[in-house]
Each structure stands twice: as structure tokens, then as C-alpha cells.
């Protein structure tokens, strides 16, 4: 299991995630909520909710939301945002949901399931808790490395070490980044009538993001297997490339996600 697949990592990184990644990932959460075609009163499960961007968008669209994440720090951040919206937030493992069968009308996960150590269990569990005909929406990166700093680190590593390809973020991320394989995995988990949509948004950040050895950079899979000197060189080159991409002090990286819609058989 990689560090990024642990509860401790996400508990420690929740603040960095909210500051650096959520403004970007929230754009795809809104896309996922629209693709889910939420109707008022729908019972919706948000798996690996993080700080809750999808849960909030779904509740604002009229859903009654159960949001789960294995990081208590992420759940605490969502609870602080919920206000009067109909959201129940619970600490829970998405690979073994403590929820009854055939309960929900919609189950969603935006960039969560690919990070699981067993992503197929995550998909199967989402299918299990959906009623027959219920809808599932799964969002994944369209590449094995993910977004933002990950792509810059992967490119820098391959530039410095052309014979040493950057590893994928996770096994699930590598498999699900291909639209055909994503559809096949959803079918195997019990979904049909699968549609895969592509959506692109800019990852917008201060180019200095990579100059700080935050937990999210220090534990990044793109740096796996490198010694301290090699890691420092990769991070430095990635930071240089980020600065070169910046205009008026802002870096923009066009980034595409696959958002799959399926129905429970």
C-alpha cells in the first residue's frame, strides 16, 4: 500500500488539499453532479468525499446526501461546511461500506476510487448499495499520474531519467485512466448503459506550489524509488517548469477527467 492510500496521509494533508487541490477538483464535482441528473429527494452516496465539494453540490441540487471518507480530518472539514443542508457525513472505508444493500438512488465518487488499494472492491460496494436501476457516477483522471503537481513531477522525472518512466499514481489510476477499461471495470462491478464523458478544466495554482516540501509533494508517488538527491532534482525541475508555464504569476494546466455514468443492473 502506498502512503497516499492511508488514512494518516489524508488526515495530515487535508489542509494542503483544501488550499491547493480542491478549487480544481470542485469543478469536476459540479460536472459529476450535473451528469448524475439529480432530482429533489434522491438518496445520494458520495464515496471518498474529501472535504465535501460533491456532497455540497448534490445537496444544493436537492439530494439527501450520505458522504463518507476514511479520513476523519476530511469528514470534520465537511461537517464544518454543511450548515442546514441535508448531508450526513461519516468516517468509513469505501472498500467495505457499513451501509445496507439497495439503499441509494445515486452513488458518486470523484477521484476517490482510483486511489483505493482495491479499487474493484470500491466499485462493487457502490453497486451493492444502489437500488436496481440506480445511477453511479465515477470521475477519474485521463492519465495514470493525476493532475497538477503530479503531471509536472512525472514529466520532470522522465526528463531527468529518460530510461526510468514515472510510476502511475496507483494501480487503479493506471487502469481506469483508459475509457474502454473504465467502462469494462464498471460492467464487471454490475453496471450497464455506461457512458463516458470527457471534461477539461484548468488546474490553476501559484507556481511556487512545488517549491514547498508539503506532505502531498514529499509523499508523491512520482518520487518513489528515488534517493534524496534525485528527489530534490526532480522537484526543482518541476518547479522550474511550473514557473515557465506561469503568466502573471499564475500557472494554468489544462487537465481532463473521464466521468462515467452507469446504471445498476
Is the CB of residue 97 less than 8 Å from the CB of residue 129?
A: yes
Task: Kindly state whether residue 84 falls inside one of the protein's structural domains.
Answer: yes
Q: Which pLDDT score is estimated for 106?
A: 98
Q: What cell does 95 get? A: 472498500
Q: Which pLDDT score is estimated for 70?
A: 96
How far apart (Å, rounded) are the C-alpha atoms in residues 46 and 91? 12
Q: What cell does 20 get? A: 491547493
Neighbours of 167 (CB within 10 A): 17
Q: Which pLDDT score is estimated for 216?
A: 67
Going by C-alpha positions, the residue among 114, 113, 258, 120 that lies closest to residue 189 is 120
Q: Which pLDDT score is estimated for 122?
A: 98
Cα dihedral across residues 139, 143, 144, 148: positive or negative: negative
Q: What value, to the nearest 5°, has the Cα angle with vertex 127 and ends 132 and 55?
A: 100
Neighbours of 8 (CB within 10 A): 11
How far apart (Å, rounded) are the C-alpha atoms in residues 168 and 215? 18
Residue whose grid cell is 490553476: 204
SS3 label, residue 257: strand
Going by C-alpha positions, the residue among 118, 116, 54, 52 that lies closest to residue 90 is 52
How many structural domains are present in the chain? 1
Task: Kindly state whether residue 58 falls inside one of the protein's structural domains.
Answer: yes
Task: Kindly state whether residue 245 falls inside one of the protein's structural domains.
Answer: no
CA distances from 85 to 55, 65, 140, 213 (A): 10, 9, 27, 36
Q: How would DSSP label each residue in 11-45?
A: HHHHHHIIIIIHHHHHHHHHHHHHHTT--TT-EEE
**CATH number where 77 lies:** 3.40.50.150
SS3 label, residue 241: helix
Task: Kindly state whether residue 211 falls inside one of the protein's structural domains.
Answer: no
CA distances from 162 to 28, 132, 152 (A): 32, 49, 15
Q: What cell does 40 get? A: 429533489
Q: Which pLDDT score is estimated for 211?
A: 60
Q: Which pLDDT score is estimated for 213?
A: 62
Task: Kindly state whether residue 47 falls inside one of the protein's structural domains.
Answer: yes
**Domain span including residue 129:** 3-145+168-202+252-264
Q: Which pLDDT score is estimated for 104?
A: 98
Task: Kindly state whether residue 229 falls inside one of the protein's structural domains.
Answer: no
How far apart (Å, rounded) are the C-alpha atoms in residues 149 and 209? 8
CA distances from 204 to 122, 157, 253, 260 (A): 30, 22, 7, 24
| pLDDT by 10s per residue, the chain, length 265 | 778 889 998 999 899 899 888 999 999 999 999 999 999 999 999 999 999 999 999 999 999 999 999 999 999 999 999 999 999 999 999 999 999 999 999 999 999 999 999 999 999 999 999 999 999 999 999 999 999 889 999 999 999 999 888 889 899 999 999 999 999 999 999 999 999 999 999 999 887 777 656 666 777 888 888 998 999 999 999 989 988 988 988 889 999 999 999 999 8
Residue whose grid cell is 469528514: 75
Task: Kindly state whether residue 259 falls inside one of the protein's structural domains.
Answer: yes
Q: Which pLDDT score is estimated for 148?
A: 86
10-30 burial: b if 16+ Cβ within 10 Å, else e: bebbbebbeebbbebbbbbbb
Task: Kindly state whether residue 53 falls inside one of the protein's structural domains.
Answer: yes
How far apart (Å, rounded) are the C-alpha atoms in residues 144 and 195? 20
Amino acid at each position: 500500500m502506498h502512503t497516499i492510500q492511508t488514512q494518516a496521509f489524508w488526515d495530515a494533508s487535508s489542509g494542503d488539499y483544501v488550499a491547493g487541490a480542491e478549487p480544481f477538483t470542485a469543478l469536476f464535482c459540479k460536472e459529476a453532479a450535473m451528469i448524475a441528473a439529480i432530482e429533489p429527494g434522491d438518496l445520494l452516496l458520495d464515496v471518498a468525499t474529501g472535504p465535501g465539494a460533491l456532497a455540497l453540490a448534490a445537496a444544493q441540487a436537492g439530494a439527501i446526501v450520505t458522504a463518507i471518507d476514511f479520513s476523519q480530518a476530511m469528514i470534520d472539514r465537511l461537517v464544518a461546511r454543511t450548515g442546514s443542508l441535508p448531508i450526513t457525513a461519516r468516517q468509513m472505508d469505501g472498500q467495505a461500506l457499513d451501509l445496507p444493500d439497495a439503499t441509494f438512488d445515486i452513488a458518486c465518487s470523484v477521484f476517490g476510487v482510483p486511489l483505493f488499494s482495491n479499487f474493484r472492491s470500491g466499485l462493487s460496494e457502490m453497486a451493492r448499495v444502489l437500488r436496481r436501476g440506480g445511477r453511479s457516477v465515477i470521475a477519474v483522471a485521463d492519465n495514470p499520474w493525476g493532475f497538477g503537481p503530479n503531471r509536472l513531477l512525472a514529466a520532470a522525472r522522465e526528463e531527468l531519467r529518460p530510461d526510468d518512466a514515472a510510476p502511475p499514481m496507483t494501480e487503479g489510476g493506471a487502469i481506469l485512466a483508459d475509457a474502454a477499461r473504465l467502462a469494462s471495470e464498471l460492467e464487471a462491478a454490475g453496471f450497464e448503459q455506461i457512458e463516458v464523458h470527457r471534461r477539461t478544466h484548468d488546474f490553476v495554482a501559484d507556481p511556487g506550489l512545488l517549491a514547498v516540501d508539503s506532505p502531498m509533494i514529499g509523499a508523491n508517488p512520482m518520487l518513489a524509488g528515488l534517493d534524496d538527491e534525485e528527489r530534490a532534482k526532480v522537484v526543482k525541475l518541476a518547479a522550474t517548469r511550473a514557473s515557465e508555464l506561469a503568466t502573471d504569476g499564475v500557472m494554468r494546466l489544462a487537465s481532463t477527467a473521464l466521468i462515467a455514468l452507469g446504471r445498476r443492473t
